Amino acid sequence: MRKGKIAVVDKECVACGNCVKYCPKQAILIHKGICAVVDGDACVGCGKCEKVCPAGTISVVIREEIYA
């Protein structure tokens, strides 16, 4: 498991695409037009997606938190 931070998308995502547009690593995609999905291997936890999410559904957390 990689260390560091990772973006996590809440189920209330509105699939606006802002996170996809601003992700410098292309680590996020909109799945079936329904919600954003983060590629854990590509995400570096920079937080840009969290800042541009109008619905506030993206959080950047320490990777260990999502596996707890």
Domain ranges of the chain: 5-67
Q: What is the mean pLDDT of each run of 10 residues along the chain (68 residues)?
A: 85 96 97 95 95 96 77
Output the pLDDT for position 1.
Answer: 57
Q: Closest Cα to residue 5, out of 67, 65, 61, 66?
A: 61
Q: Which fold has domain 5-67?
A: Alpha-Beta Plaits (3.30.70)
Between CA 58 and CA 51 the distance in angstroms is 8
pLDDT at site 65:
73
What is the value of pTM for the model shown? 0.86
